[in-house]
Amino acid sequence: MVIKALMSDEDRPTERPDTIIPEPGSVWIHFKGRRYKVVGTARHSETGELMVVYEPLYENPWPLCVRPIWMWSDHVEREGYSGPRFRLEKP
């Protein structure tokens, strides 16, 4: 598969119609228990892939992190857990 540098929304390989785009400022819990605050979303400059920009809410050597949207909203089956990689923290 060849990924074009500039892609239309319909051609993006990593975004599904059911993909949840996290709101800036929302807090999410990773399936391993750590909390993260969403800064916003961004596009990869060469592939156009949608990324989530987020801030760990614990001591971490990286003040900001990014993850592809497909990975953010992915379903995980690991170590006896089956569910979303991230879940929205209830207010």
Model pTM score: 0.78
| pLDDT at site 72 | 94
The b-or-e profile of 23-37 (16+ CB within 10 A means b, else e) is: eeeebbbbbeeeebe
d(CA 43, CA 23): 15
Asked if 56 and 36 touch (Cβ cutoff 8 Å), the reply is: yes
| pLDDT at site 16 | 66
Q: Report the candidate in 88, 76, 85 with the shortest Cα–Cα distance to residue 38.
A: 88
pLDDT digits (tens, 9 = 90+) for 21-72: 999 999 999 999 999 999 999 999 999 999 999 999 999 999 999 999 999 9
| pLDDT at site 14 | 55
